[in-house]
Amino acid sequence: MDRRTFLNAGIGAVALGSAGYARQTQEDSRIEVILDEPGAIIAPEIYGHFVEHLGGVVYDGIWVGENSTIANIGGLRKSLIDALKRVKPGMIRWPGGCFADQYDWRDGVGPRDKRPRRTNFWVDDGAWPANANRKGPQSYDPNAFGTAEFVHFCEQTGAQPYFAANLRSLPAEELYRWLEYCNSPAGTTTWSDVRSADGHPEPINVKYWGVGNESWGCGGEFDPEDYASELRRYSAWMPKYGVDLRVIGSGPNDNEYSWTRRCFSKLARDGHVHGIWGWAAHHYAWNTTGKSKAEWNSGKGDALHFDAEQYYSILRSADETEAIIEGHWEVMAEHDPQHHVKLVVDEWGAWYAAGTEPFAEALLGQQNTMRDAVVAGLTLDIFNRHAEKVGMASVAQLVNCLQSLFLAHEDKFCLTPTYHVFDMYVAHQGGQSIRTMVSAPHVSYSWNGVPASLRGLSSSASLKGKTLTLTVTNPLIDTVRETEIVLRGGKIQAVSGQMLSASDVHAHNSFESPNAVEPKRLLNARSRFTLPAASVTQLEIALG
């Protein structure tokens, strides 16, 4: 279809809301979808989640207990299971995070009433709200939620389990024993008998095993060469039980390319580069320029109250994910030119200052606005565009912590704008990534007096048979964008979709007002769109 036919095709009248800022309209953007340049399949595991024993994630968030008056399935919060199932979680990573390198898996198996209580890794964190009960399960873990309960949660939601094994404070033998508990055939080992008594007679066949977490920091403060040696020692002779084990090494923070380079050089010297399947990178978005721990904590912005500069600085930080993926991929190629090892972005999301926790024990809990929906749209688009590089990813964290999909406390529950973005992106899972070319002027703004810029529009596309899914994020805080969509190598037959936007970019859902931000369906949409400021759109295009 040429440009004239497109323009004649009319306007899909879908302008919704404003962002609480002066409105302008810009008519200078265009998205070309290059159908004859297909890329890799988008792994469902890119749409993964992260569950750590941190604040209100596990206790109250997921685990309410079998005797609770809150609707539950074997102690797991039912409303959360129902909603999570809908967004088809490809994978769930557990039990941490920093918690993982202090966790003894044996504490969380066997009869629940006999399990030990242990001090949680996060007990001394500086971000606890002053009125939090510091003696509850968030500080002293009763271990009611252990391996069998987590696996039950994965089964209920259809996710693959991804375990983060303790490297800092347990020997390699414990990793083998945990594997034995999970994967050894029924009736063959003492641990398989314990598993059976825990409700899983058949092997769980856990495939994804991380060795340590942030091993450059809370995971042991290793230097890269020492970590690479440990990674090899822990993973070289793991018992397989017929499972295609996928070992994930603890990769870099942000753009710390030297961690990747030095670890891969050491793994290459030891002939173990292909002993791993994935390389975990973490990247959080925050709007502090400070690098020291103190500046980092004091400089973080508020989740609910922000101006345009703070808005853009978070988006810009999230958008750096693309350069980080490309940068580490290039470095990994120095010792893995065929790219057998995939990137696993197993912690991503926006991280704000304390103060908007859904309840006092939800350490690192924060509210989630339309800004976070835009962060999610930008980030998931990046993963889709780099489907050949990103094997898995998980947003931090599932519930009540950082950029959550859910807020849950006692009998109160709500979905966040980030949840709705995951819901809108479901159709990308398992699709073939298709190249898009976006033409839109960059956004210019200043951050702490320094000029900065951000892409003016983001998109990604995937194809399943004759159905094209196109997602588009307009990051402009105050500007509605008129956009034309042009297909190269195909014709549009029909377009439908959904759009997430709000009259104010600070809009969010809460226990009192759970439906303040919700997507709206686009009916009889066309190829020319009005994208509201700070919005995320999903289009399903039937090809002729």
| Residue 286 CB, nearest approach to ligand AHR (Å) | 11
Catalytic site residue from 45, 149, 230, 347? 347
The dihedral built from the CA positions of residue 511, 512, 517 and 520, taken in this order, carries a sign that is positive
Q: Which is nearer to ligand AHR, 369 or 404 (CB)?
A: 404
Give the Cα separation of 3 and 26 in Å (integer): 18
Instruction: Give buried/exposed letters for 112-145 (b at 16+ CB in 10 A, else e).
Output: beebeebebbbeeeebbeeebeeebbbbebbbbb
| Residue 268 CB, nearest approach to ligand AHR (Å) | 26
37 is a catalytic site residue = no
Judging by DSSP bridges, how do beta strands 520-525 and 492-500 pair with one another?
antiparallel
Q: How much of the chain is in helix, strand and coil states, percent to nearest 5?
A: 30, 30, 45
347 is a catalytic site residue = yes
Q: State phi, psi for 83 to the nearest 5 degrees.
A: -75, -35
Nearest to 364 by CA among 373, 354, 350: 354
Q: Which is nearer to ligand AHR, 39 or 220 (CB)?
A: 220
Site for ligand AHR in 397-436 (CB under 6 A): 397, 402
| Residue 290 CB, nearest approach to ligand AHR (Å) | 16
Question: How many alpha carbons lie under 13 Å from residue 44 in its C-beta half-sphere?
Answer: 14
- Contact range with ligand AHR by CB under 6 A, out of 64-72, 91-99, 124-132, 323-331: 91-99
Show the site string, 294-333: x = touches ligand AHR by CB under 6 A, - = not: ----------------------------------------
# residues near ligand AHR by CB under 6 A: 10
- Contact range with ligand AHR by CB under 6 A, out of 90-98, 239-247, 260-268, 313-321: 90-98
Site for ligand AHR in 472-531 (CB under 6 A): none
250 scored as a contact of ligand AHR (CB under 6 A) = no
Site for ligand AHR in 150-189 (CB under 6 A): none
Judged by DSSP in three states, 542 sits in strand
Catalytic site residue from 45, 52, 180, 214? 214
214 scored as a contact of ligand AHR (CB under 6 A) = yes
The DSSP symbol for 369 reads B
Q: Which is nearer to ligand AHR, 393 or 396 (CB)?
A: 396
* Rounded (5°) CA angle 170-346-98: 35
**Burial (CB count within 10 angstroms: exposed 0-12, middle 13-18, buried 19+), residue 370:** buried
Judged by DSSP in three states, 189 sits in coil
213 scored as a contact of ligand AHR (CB under 6 A) = yes
210 scored as a contact of ligand AHR (CB under 6 A) = no
Nearest to 57 by CA among 294, 359, 351: 359
Q: Which is nearer to ligand AHR, 121 or 419 (CB)?
A: 121
| Residue 166 CB, nearest approach to ligand AHR (Å) | 13
Q: Which is nearer to ligand AHR, 47 or 94 (CB)?
A: 94
SS3 letters for 283-350? EEECCCCCCCHHHHHHCCCCCCCCCHHHHHHHHHHHHCHHHHHHHHHHHHHCCCCCCCCEEEEEEEEE
Residue of the chain from 16, 46, 87, 98 that contacts ligand AHR (CB under 6 A): 98
SS3 letters for 27-67? EEEEEEEEEEEEEEECCHHHCEEECCCCCCCCECCCECCCC
Residue of the chain from 396, 405, 414, 487 that contacts ligand AHR (CB under 6 A): 396
- Contact range with ligand AHR by CB under 6 A, out of 74-82, 94-102, 165-173, 521-529: 94-102
| Residue 179 CB, nearest approach to ligand AHR (Å) | 22
| Residue 205 CB, nearest approach to ligand AHR (Å) | 26
Q: Which is nearer to ligand AHR, 98 or 325 (CB)?
A: 98
97 scored as a contact of ligand AHR (CB under 6 A) = yes
Give the Cα separation of 330 and 311 in Å (integer): 30
| Residue 403 CB, nearest approach to ligand AHR (Å) | 10
The DSSP symbol for 452 reads E
Nearest to 448 by CA among 255, 290, 304, 297: 290
Q: Which is nearer to ligand AHR, 185 or 290 (CB)?
A: 290
Q: State phi, psi for 243 to the nearest 5 degrees.
A: -95, 140
Site for ligand AHR in 50-89 (CB under 6 A): 52
Tell me the residue number closest to ligand AHR, measured at CB.
97
| Residue 27 CB, nearest approach to ligand AHR (Å) | 41
347 scored as a contact of ligand AHR (CB under 6 A) = yes
The DSSP symbol for 170 reads S
Q: Which is nearer to ligand AHR, 97 or 417 (CB)?
A: 97
Q: Which is nearer to ligand AHR, 138 or 471 (CB)?
A: 138
The dihedral built from the CA positions of residue 122, 124, 125 and 129, taken in this order, carries a sign that is positive
Strand partners, 368: none
- Taking every pair of Cα atoms in the chain, the longest distance, rounded to a whole number of angstroms, is 72
Q: Which is nearer to ligand AHR, 97 or 220 (CB)?
A: 97
| Residue 251 CB, nearest approach to ligand AHR (Å) | 12
Find out whether 367 and 508 touch, Cβ atoms under 8 Å.
Answer: yes
| Residue 187 CB, nearest approach to ligand AHR (Å) | 37
Catalytically active residues are: 214, 347
**Which residues here bind ligand AHR, judged by CB under 6 A?**
52, 96-98, 213-214, 347, 396-397, 402
